[in-house]
Amino acid sequence: MGGREVTGRLLAQRKQSLQFTFHPGPSLSNMAVCYACLTLLALGSARVGSADSMADRLPLEPYDRLFSMAVDAYYRDDWQGVILNMERALQNRAALRRAKIHCRAECSHKMKFSIANSSHDLFMDMNYFHTVLRKADCLKVCEGERLGPHSLHHISEEVQLEFHKRTPYNYLQVAYFKIKMLDKAVAAAHTFFMVNPDHLEMRQNLEYYKMMAGVKDADFKDLEAKAHMEAFRQGVRLYTDEQFKHSIRFLENALEEYFKANAECRALCEGPYNFDGYNYMEYNADLYQAITDHYIQVLGCKQNCVTELAIRPDREAPIEDFLPTHLDYLQFAYYNSENYSQAIECTKTYLLFYPNDEVMNQNLQYYQAVLGDELSRHLTHREDIQTYIANSLLEKELLYFANEIFGVTFIDPDKWTPESVIPVKLKAKQKAERETAARISEEIGNLMKEIENLVDEKTKESSEIVKMVKEGGPLLFDSVQVVMNARLLNGTQRVLLDGVITDEECQEMRYLSNAAASLGDGYYGRPSPHTPNERFQGVTVLKALKLSQKGTIPLKTSRLFYDVSEKVRRIIESYFRMETPLHFAYSHLVCRTAVEGMQDKREDLSHSVHVDNCILNSEALECPKQHPAYTERDYSAILYLNHDFEGGNFIFTEIDAKVITAMVNPKCGRVVAFSSGAENPHGVQAVTKGQRCGVALWFTLDPTQKERERIEADDLVNMLFGMEEELQPDEGDVKEPVPTDHRSNDVPTDHRPSDVPTDHRSSDVLTDHRSSERPAPEPIHKPQDGAEPAGDAAEQETEVKGSMTEGSKVPEHMIKTMEPAPTVPDTKSTAALNIPSTKQEL
C-alpha cells in the first residue's frame, strides 16, 4: 500500500473520529468546532505532502544493532568492521538524540497551550486536549520522518549502560591501534578512561601511548566532552592564571552553552512513562492520575538536569552550585577588568539565587560606589536567568505538592531553593527523619566503638612495639641529628630533627617566602584562613620555579626550595625505614604573621588541632578516614626557618584535641616529622608577634597519588638547570607490563602497543584527572571567597593539593610524565568545584 493511500485512510479515520469527538453541544460555538476540524484536516494534508519524501528516506539504523555487529567483528579480528560499525553506532545514537530533541522542541514551539476566553469549562478542557493531540501528531510525523518506525529504537537498558560507560571507545582504541591509526586509538582510549579512571589496563595503555613516537599531546582528547563544561573549565584555568579578560569570554560562553544543554536535557525528559517498579500489566490509574504520574515524572527529570549538567565525566558527584558559580567567577573577573557595569549585573544576578549573601551584597555596594549612582542606578540582573529561576520554582512547588499529597519522592538538586517553597509538614518530617537517623547512627557508633576499643586494647601494645622497631633508620647526612624520638615525644611514628639546613639556607628561604609568596595561597586568596588574628601567605615549588623562569626571583633560590624538600623526603623515608618509596603529595612554603593590634586576650590557635588524613571528631574521640580528608597522605613534616617570633609552637595532643602530649619550639633547620594518621593529632599555637615561616610537606606511599605539580616541577628543573641525566622514577612507580592481548566476553581490557617506547610525551595528557587550580592570590581590595576549604591537613599551611598550572611557561616538548594521573577525590578542594576567590568584606 502506497504512502498516499495510507495517509488518505488515516485522514478519513481522523475525519470520522473528529465528528464524534467534537460533536457540538448547545454550549459550544460552531466556529470553535470548525476551527478544530480545519486544524486537524490541515495536519492530514501536510502529512500527505510528506509521504513521498518519507518513502524515499531510509529509517535510521538502530545503534544497538550496529553495536552488536561491531562486537561480533571484534571477535573475528575484523578491525575495519569494528571501526565501521562502532563509529556508525555512536553516530546513530547521537542522531537519535538530536532528532528527539529537535522534534520535541519544534512541536512545543508550534503547538503552544492557550486558554480561550470562554466561561465554559468543557471548552477549556477541549482546548487543552486539542493542543495535546496536535503536539502528539506533530511528534509522530517529525520522528517518523527522521527516524522511521518508533519500534526500531527500543534500546535495552543493558546496551544504554554500555554506551553510558563509553564501552564502544574501548573496542575502538584496540581496532585503531591494530590498523596503526595511533591518533584515533589515543583519542578513543582517553575518552573511555575519562569515565573509567579506575580501569588499570587502560591507564597502562595511556602511559604506553604517551611514550610512543608519533603520538601528540593533542591526540589525548575527550570525544564526548560537553561544550558547557569544557568552556567553564577553560574559563576557570584562565581565571586562576589571572587572565581575567580572556576568562570572561569562556565563562560567558559556558553560560550560553549551559542553557542550550539544559534545554536539550529537558526536551529528552518528555519521553515514555517509566513504570519503575510498577507492573505495567497491573497499572490501572484513571485518566487524571495517569496524567499526574507521568507529568510529575517528567518534572522530576527536568529538575534533575541541574545535576546532570554539573557532573564531570571523571566524578560521581556534581559541582555544587554550578550555575551560580558561573556568575560568581564572572562578577569578579569583570571587576578585575574594570568593567563595573557587567560586574554589577552579574552580582545582582547571583543575588537572585542567594539574596541574603552578605559578602556579595557588600561587593555590590562597592561596585556601585566605584561606578557612581548615576550610572549604576539603571543596571539590573539578567532576565533570562530570572525566568529560569521563576520556572524552576514553579516546578519545585508542583513536585513538593505531589510529594505531600501522593508521596512522590523529590530530592531538590538546588541549595538556593527558598525555605518558603518547601511545605511545612515536609520540613517537619525531614527534621524528624534526620533526628531518627542521627539517633540510630549514634547507637550503632557507640556499639562499634566498644568493639573497636576491645580490639585496640589487644593490638595497641604489639603495634607500638613494631612501630618503634621500624623507627631509627640512618639519617643520610652528618649534620642531621635526632633531638627527640617517638618515645620522648610521647607518641608513635614521631621524630624531631635538627641541622637539616644551615642558617644561610634558612635566610634564603625566608627571602623566597616574602618575595614570591601570595596572601591566602591555597585558600582561594583568603588572607586569614585559620584565624582573623594572623595573615597567611605561601608559595609552592612549581610557582617558585616559574617565577625564576620569568626572572622574578633568582634561579638558585627556587632550586634551593626544590632541593630542600627532596632532602627532607629522603631523610624521612630512611629514618622510618620505608619498605616502599615515599612520594610527594604536596609541598608549601608558608608564613604566618601576627596582625598588630589584635593580639590582646587572644585565646584561639594559629591552626586548630586536626589530623592530616582523617576527619577528627574530638568529642566522639574518633577520626574516620574518609573524604573530604586527604586520605592518601601517609607522612607529614614541617621544616622551620626561623625562631624570631612569639608563640607559634607546634603541639601534639590526644585524640580529644585538649591534652597536649608534646610541644615543639620552631627554629632554623628543625624538622618535626610524623605519620599522618589518627595517632598524631596536632595543631599550632597562636603567633602573637612577628612572622613564623616553614616548609610544610605531605607524603604518600601510593604512587598513583603523587603530586602532579611536583612532576611538572621535576621537568622544569630539568629544563632550567640543564641536567644531563633525567630524573629517575621512584621504585614504586607503576611499571609498564609486557604488551598482551586480553579478551573477555564483555569488553576488551588490555590491547597495547607491542613496540618499545621511543619518545616521551607531555604530562598534559590526562588533564581531566587533575585538580583544577585554585584562584590566584588577590590584592587587598579584591573580593574574596567566604567558603572554607574542605578537609584538615598536617600543619595545614594549605588545604588544597598542588596541581599542574595550565598557564605554565614550560615548552610542551620538555614535559614528561612519570606517573599516570590519579583520580581526584571529589572534595571542595578543587577550584572547579568551589566558588572562586570572589568575596571579600570591603
The per-residue pLDDT for range 481-537, each reduced to its tens digit, is 999 999 899 998 999 999 999 999 999 999 998 888 888 777 766 777 888 889 889
Instruction: Report which DSSP code applies to 322.
Output: H
Angstrom distances, CA of residue 156 to CA of 62, 84, 112: 11, 22, 33
Per-residue pLDDT, averaged over 771-798, amounts to 36
CA distance linking residue 593 with residue 510, whole number of Å:
13
Q: What is the pLDDT of residue 279?
A: 64
**Would you put residue 235 in left (φ > 0), alpha (ψ -120 to 50) or beta?**
alpha
Per-residue pLDDT, averaged over 780-805, amounts to 36
Angstrom distances, CA of residue 301 to CA of 196, 274, 395, 411, 609: 25, 11, 11, 11, 44
The per-residue pLDDT for range 316-328, each reduced to its tens digit, is 789 999 999 999 9
Beta partners for residue 536, in sequence order: 592
For the chain, percent of residues with pLDDT exceeding 70: 74
CA distance linking residue 312 with residue 120, whole number of Å:
51
Per-residue pLDDT, averaged over 625-653, amounts to 92
Please list, residue by residue across 480-494, b when 16 or more beta carbons sit within 10 angstroms of its beta carbon and e when fewer do.
beeebebeebebbbb
Per-residue pLDDT, averaged over 792-815, amounts to 35
Q: Is 692 a catalytic residue?
A: yes
The per-residue pLDDT for range 251-281, each reduced to its tens digit, is 999 999 999 999 999 999 998 888 765 666 6
Q: For 540, what's the count of Cα atoms within 13 Å in the CB-facing half-sphere?
A: 31
Q: What is the pLDDT of residue 377?
A: 87
Least confident of 88-97, 210-219, 580-589, 768-777: 768-777
The per-residue pLDDT for range 76-114, each reduced to its tens digit, is 999 999 999 999 999 999 999 999 999 998 998 888 776
pLDDT: which is higher, 471 or 557: 557
Catalytic choice (592, 692, 708, 752): 692
In 727-840, which ranges are E strands?
741-742, 750-751
Q: What is the pLDDT of residue 186?
A: 95
- Considering the chain, what is the average pLDDT of its residues? 78
For residue 84, give every residue at least 6 positions away whose Cβ sits within 8 Å of its Cβ, in sequence order, or none. 70
Residue 16 has pLDDT above 80, yes or no: no
Per-residue pLDDT, averaged over 169-192, amounts to 95
Instruction: Report which DSSP code applies to 806.
Output: T
Question: Hey, what's the cell of 740?
Answer: 598482551
Least confident of 227-241, 271-285, 305-319, 548-562: 271-285
Per-residue pLDDT, averaged over 323-338, amounts to 95
Confidence of residue 463 (pLDDT cuts 50, 70, 90): low
Confidence of residue 444 (pLDDT cuts 50, 70, 90): confident
Per-residue pLDDT, averaged over 442-449, amounts to 83
The per-residue pLDDT for range 586-597, each reduced to its tens digit, is 999 999 999 988
Question: Cell 630512611 identifies what position?
Answer: 574
- Phi, psi angle pair for 599, to nearest 5°: -105, -5
Least confident of 32-41, 604-613, 822-831: 822-831
Please list, residue by residue across 680-690, b when 16 or more beta carbons sit within 10 angstroms of its beta carbon and e when fewer do.
bbbbbbbbbeb
The answer to whether the beta carbons of residues 40 and 129 sit under 8 Å apart is no
Residue 831 has pLDDT above 80, yes or no: no
Q: What is the pLDDT of residue 286?
A: 86
Q: What is the pLDDT of residue 315?
A: 80
Instruction: Report which DSSP code applies to 286.
Output: -
Neighbours of 537 (CB within 10 A): 23
Q: What is the pLDDT of residue 228?
A: 95
Q: What is the pLDDT of residue 560?
A: 94
Q: What is the pLDDT of residue 280?
A: 67
Per-residue pLDDT, averaged over 125-135, amounts to 82
User: Could you tell me which of 381, 301, 192 has the C-alpha nearest to residue 768?
Assistant: 192
Per-residue pLDDT, averaged over 199-228, amounts to 91
Question: Hey, what's the cell of 610?
Answer: 586536626
Residue 65 has pLDDT above 90, yes or no: yes
Q: What is the pLDDT of residue 517?
A: 81
pLDDT: which is higher, 796 or 297: 297
Q: What sign has the CA pseudo-torsion 528, 530, 534, 536?
A: negative
The per-residue pLDDT for range 698-736, each reduced to its tens digit, is 999 998 889 989 999 998 888 888 643 443 444 434 333
Long-range contacts of 277-286 (CB under 8 A, 24+ apart): none
- The residue type found at 583 is H
CA distance linking residue 812 with residue 216, whole number of Å:
10
pLDDT: which is higher, 739 or 252: 252
User: Can you state the angle between helices 79-110 and 121-147, rounded to 10 degrees?
Assistant: 160
